[in-house]
Amino acid sequence: MPVAIVTGASSGIGLALSKHLLEQSWTVILADVAPPPPEITGTYEFVKTDVSSWDSILALFKHTFKTYSRIDFVAANAGIDDRDDVCADSATDEPAPLNFKTINIDLYGAINTYWCALHYMRRNPGGKQGKIVFTASSAGLYPFASNPEYCAAKHGLVGFTRSVSQKLASERITVNSICPALVKTNLAPTELLRIIPQEQMTPMSTIVKAFDLFINDTEFKVTGQTVECALDELIFRDPPEFGNESQQALFGSDASKWLEGYEKA
């Protein structure tokens, strides 16, 4: 039976994905700071995990690999919205430090989850293979004035996905991102859900379909992709156009000069 780890599995998108995987007989490790609701059925284990803590993530992966001997799919999904107002005027003589909780969970936590996933997927029985999907956001593609730190973290995940996938291209380990629009979960404030028209809400079924694109890739060929999930559409998003020919030559599809330059540095 294939084994998945889903972070942020106790609510919203992570919960829907976990239920979907359980319905298809996956073994699912639900990794969250909070326990899952009681209605879940199937072969699952809740492992209390705080993705803002390296020790907690490492313990999650060590436990999973030791207990189930393999890790096939990891959804780095846990996320929160902004806790700082980075545009506020400080009430004090000098600025107080920001808490960066959002960046710690949404960016560093997701990258640390990837880092552990990569390690254990390379040790899977039968050879290196696995699939990693980040839950980025439409805020990883567009400006997002209400949550600038969230926006920075999600843009970070999109750039990270596009970059590591090039370097891992020769391995059967895929890395992709999904970018949901607004989905009704516990993340969005109630007032926001009240004032945004219902017809602009993306159904959870679209998000699950986006995960399936990557989960069902039996050839391990679909990697480095960013998929915007809006209403009932899944839209593959390429990086922005090159500014000129020089940029195309520098940052185009052949990364070999950069890799060589850094390897020999």
Ligand X SMILES: NC(=O)c1ccc[n+]([C@@H]2O[C@H](COP(=O)([O-])OP(=O)(O)OC[C@H]3O[C@@H](n4cnc5c(N)ncnc54)[C@H](O)[C@@H]3O)[C@@H](O)[C@H]2O)c1
Query: What are the residues binding ligand X (CB under 6 A)?
Result: 7-8, 10-14, 32-34, 49-52, 77-80, 105, 135, 137, 180, 182-183, 185-188
φ/ψ of residue 73, rounded to 5: -145, 135
Q: Least separation, in Å, of the C-beta of 79 and ligand X?
A: 2
| Amino acid residing at 265 | A
Tally the C-alpha atoms within 13 A of residue 173's C-alpha that lie toward its C-beta.
24
Measured from the CB atom, the residue of 117 and 124 that comes closer to ligand X is 117
Q: How far is the CB of 259 from ligand X (least distance, A)?
A: 30
Enter the DSSP assignment of 5.
Answer: E
Tokens of 150: 């969230």
Give the nearer residue to ligand X in terms of CB position, either 164 or 207: 207
Nearer residue to ligand X within complex by CB, 112 or 124: 112
Nearer to ligand X among residue 69 and residue 146 (C-beta): 146
**Interacting residues of 99 by C-beta distance below 8 A, sequence separation 6+:** 83, 84
Q: Look-up: residue for tokens 């950069």?
A: 258
Q: How near is the Cβ of 192 to ligand X at its closest, in Å?
A: 9
What are the residues whose beta carbons fall under 8 Å from the beta carbon of 112, sequence distance 6 or more?
Answer: 51, 54, 57
Q: Hey, what amino acid is at 125?
A: P
Q: Do the beta carbons of residue 185 and residue 11 sit within 8 Å? A: yes
Q: What is the rounded distance in angstroms from the CA atom of residue 38 to the CA atom of residue 25?
A: 18
Task: Provide the minimum distance between the beta carbon of 98 and ligand X in the complex, in angstroms, as a whole number.
Answer: 17
Q: Would you say 25 or 99 has its CB closer to ligand X?
A: 99
Amino acid at site 30: L
Residue 141 CB, nearest approach to ligand X (Å): 10
